[in-house]
Amino acid sequence: MTRSFTYAALPMRVVFGADSLSSLPTEISALGFERVLVLCGPRQEALGKQIVATLGDRAVGILPEAVMHVPAAVAARAVDVASQLGADSCLAVGGGSSIGLGKAVAKELGLPVVAVPTTYAGSEMTPVWGLTTNGVKRTGRDSRVLPVSVIYDPSLTVSMPASLSVTSGFNAIAHAVEGLYAPDASPIVSLMAVEGATSLATALPGVASDISDLSARSTALYGAWLCGAVLGATTMSLHHKLCHALGGTLNLPHAETHTVVLPHVLAFNAPAAPAAVAALSRAFDCSDPARYLFDLADSLGAPGSLAELGMAFADIDRVADAVAESSYANPRPASRNEIAALLRAAWEGALN
């Protein structure tokens, strides 16, 4: 068998391990940052204030206003605050919303970002940004938004409720699944995808049964790191286009939407992606990865349908139209009617 591929390693530093947050002042000092703006959501405000206190004079303030899907108005405010405070960098602590807000500032002002993830979203490993304006979520790639350093401390994920831990983990698994059949996949990416998906599928039952299980949390965060790296190295396909449309148009919760949609897209793509299905079958020790993920989510108490997340049946056509009008890479072409049928199945929570 002959192979042809291109692989480019993303330039960033990763610090991983329990209590790695304690290394943050040393990391900031080594990077030469002297005026750090801390960005987080309201739920992480206490942690953000703790980080400000730890950084001392190197911190110029905190903006605890990050929300899902990075609304353009919130991004504009963060840019204004960073400019007014004379920040030379941003430290984003939290999930994809906080890190996405840091990327929005980086995109506009060129300020480097340090990420401290507290979920399994994976945004910290990618040069992908997203902004939502008038119900439309736009995404793009820009090397300036890639965090220069990422601090992975499993103890910071213990505050995540079991329900969010599970759906955040499925969000990460989705990165791995799409990376396995991406047009720009490579052997390194595929190895990371399989290892990441395996780690998360192994860890999530333990996390769900005992949210304080640091060993399970560490395994899950390790898997999320790898899955995020896969997302950063490959082109997004139908699954992410659907989730971005559902989130931007209907403001559905991000991780939960990924959890519901993933098995349906994988089942749709399976006939056109036999190598990816074979790799996932080995990773999960099963014959049908889509069914495995569907059943695993159900067994862990995750939402099983888009209807549960608040989507109205009447919204199916609107979202199908939006996705059909956009361009994306996917191993199997999807017509507008096929997209609508997939959305109906996900709305009903019935895996075909």
Per-residue model confidence as pLDDT tens digits over 72-95: 999 999 999 999 999 999 999 999
* Strand pairing category for 59-63 and 36-39: parallel
Where residue 255 sits, what CATH number does that domain have?
1.20.1090.10
pLDDT score of 23: 95
Based on the domain organization, do 295 and 173 belong to the same domain?
Answer: yes
Based on the domain organization, do 125 and 201 belong to the same domain?
Answer: no
Based on the domain organization, do 172 and 317 belong to the same domain?
Answer: yes
Based on the domain organization, do 191 and 333 belong to the same domain?
Answer: yes
Based on the domain organization, do 144 and 216 belong to the same domain?
Answer: no
325 vs 230: CA distance, rounded Å: 26
Based on the domain organization, do 218 and 264 belong to the same domain?
Answer: yes
Based on the domain organization, do 104 and 230 belong to the same domain?
Answer: no
pLDDT score of 142: 94
Identify the domain boundary among 124, 157, 190: 157
Based on the domain organization, do 313 and 187 belong to the same domain?
Answer: yes
User: pTM value?
Assistant: 0.92
Identify the domain boundary among 111, 129, 157: 157
Based on the domain organization, do 151 and 186 belong to the same domain?
Answer: no
Based on the domain organization, do 143 and 172 belong to the same domain?
Answer: no
79 vs 343: CA distance, rounded Å: 36
Determine, yes or no, domain membership for 2: no
Determine, yes or no, domain membership for 270: yes
Per-residue pLDDT of the chain (352 residues; tens, 9 = 90+): 566 778 777 888 999 999 999 999 999 999 999 999 999 999 999 999 999 999 999 999 999 999 988 999 999 999 999 999 999 999 999 999 999 999 999 999 999 999 999 999 999 999 999 999 988 888 899 999 999 999 999 999 999 999 999 999 999 999 999 999 999 999 999 999 999 999 999 999 999 999 999 999 999 999 999 999 999 999 999 999 999 999 989 999 999 999 999 999 999 999 999 999 999 999 999 999 999 999 999 999 999 999 999 999 999 999 999 999 988 889 999 999 999 999 999 999 999 7
Where residue 118 sits, what CATH number does that domain have?
3.40.50.1970
Determine, yes or no, domain membership for 3: no
pLDDT score of 313: 97
Contacts of 326 (CB under 8 A, 6+ apart): 241, 245
pLDDT score of 153: 97
Based on the domain organization, do 153 and 167 belong to the same domain?
Answer: no
What's the DSSP call for residue 146? S
Determine, yes or no, domain membership for 318: yes
Determine, yes or no, domain membership for 8: no
Based on the domain organization, do 136 and 238 belong to the same domain?
Answer: no
Q: Which two tokens stand for residue 273?
A: 């992606």
Structural domains of the chain, count: 2
Q: Which residues pair with 139 in a beta bridge?
A: 130
Identify the domain boundary among 136, 157, 178: 157
| Domain containing residue 92 | 13-157
CB 41 within 8 A of CB 70: no
